[in-house]
Amino acid sequence: MSLNRKELSILEELNKSIKISLTYFAEKYNVSERNIRYSIENLNYYLLKFSLAEIKIKKGEVYWSIEQENLKNFIESIDIENYIFSKEERENYILISYLFSDRTKITDIERYLKISRPTIKKDLISLNSYLKEFELEFLREEHRIFIVGKEKKLRHLKLLKLLEYLDIKNGKVEYLEKIYLTEKKELEIVKRYLEKFDIPKYYNIILQIERELKVEFDTKFKKLMCIYLISTIERIDKNFIITKKDNSKFLSQLTDYKIIKNILKNIIPEELEFEFLHLTEYFISGYYSHDFSENIYLVESFIDAFCGKIKK
């Protein structure tokens, strides 16, 4: 019997506690206690193969103890032939593949995940429910699949997913450690995606904007903006351009806009006006956020007074 993510999660939980009841695991995974016993028998089979301690069950309590490094090595050494991917693992792998690789093929996904075409179709339908929150969806066109929808939302999704695999400190990328099979494969996809970007250059541009505006960006904000610039440059290179901005007239009159645009044009074509406006709004939010609550209060007060006068 192959291993799965549920069983490895049981191992991780046991490694953090002296003992855990069978009832707890049965309720958590919505299965019977007998099912949990079967899972533990399966785990013990593989633990013994790696000369590791067995899991014990006494009076409905489950016991197991191992060094954290040994558990990590055990999970990392699991062969793909002895592993069944969960629905969540499959869906995340599919999503990462289509977000960050232009060479993704359904046949390659089928082969790696060891699943059929109907299963992939079901996973894509399930993923579309998730993508709907971002006003995005999977679109099939001439034997290829794309993620389509609102450009701004797609860039945001790329930002959120990249944060799961990397950190940026002082302009340098630090990849987060991954030990599960799909996560390691996803990290490889992300690394290939980032190879073509001059990330230190983007980070220095953020620092230059900070200096020219005479403000101080939060460290987290600089990291987020650097990652967002990556997805922005990528999409612009593929000719997916933002072509409107609701408050463009207001933003374009700001002195800050002229400063930000003058710096950003080193990485963004100068004719893409709405791209500059879009990014300007983000940079402004990075140093005006502390006044946000006060501004909301002022706006609400004005609206109340205005509505009162209109009513009369």
Q: Please, which pLDDT band fits residue 1 given cuts at 50, 70 and 90?
A: confident
Cα(94)–Cα(123) distance, rounded to whole angstroms? 8
Q: For 218, which DSSP code?
A: -
Q: So what's the pLDDT on residue 301?
A: 74
Each residue's pLDDT tens digit, 35-84:
999 999 999 999 999 999 999 999 999 999 999 999 999 999 999 999 99
Q: In which residue ranges of the chain is CATH 1.10.10.10 found?
A: 3-84
Each residue's pLDDT tens digit, 96-139:
999 999 989 999 999 999 999 999 999 999 999 999 999 999 99
Each residue's pLDDT tens digit, 264-284:
999 999 999 999 999 999 999
SS3 160: helix
Q: Is 294 a residue whose pLDDT tops 70?
A: no
CATH match of 87-194 with 3.40.50: no
Each residue's pLDDT tens digit, 73-88:
999 999 999 999 999 9
Q: Is 296 a residue whose pLDDT tops 90?
A: no
Each residue's pLDDT tens digit, 234-259:
999 999 999 998 888 888 999 999 99
Burial class of 168 by CB neighbour count within 10 A (0 to 12, 13 to 18, 19+): buried
Q: So what's the pLDDT on residue 304?
A: 82
Q: So what's the pLDDT on residue 308?
A: 84
CA angle 231, 288, 208 (to 5 degrees): 55
Contacts made by residues 90-94, CB under 8 angstroms, sequence distance 24+:
90/115, 90/119, 90/123, 90/182, 91/123, 91/126, 91/127, 91/130, 92/182, 92/186, 93/182, 93/185, 93/186, 94/120, 94/123, 94/124, 94/127
Q: Is 295 a residue whose pLDDT tops 70?
A: no
Taking Cα atoms as reference points, which of 211, 192, 207, 203 lies closest to residue 167? Answer: 203
Cα(211)–Cα(280) distance, rounded to whole angstroms? 15
Q: So what's the pLDDT on residue 43?
A: 96
CATH match of 3-84 with 1.10.10.10: yes
Taking Cα atoms as reference points, which of 121, 160, 123, 152 lies closest to residue 136? Answer: 152
Taking Cα atoms as reference points, which of 45, 44, 122, 112 lies closest to residue 84? Answer: 112
Each residue's pLDDT tens digit, 171-202:
999 999 999 999 999 999 999 999 999 999 99
State percent of the chain over pLDDT 70: 96
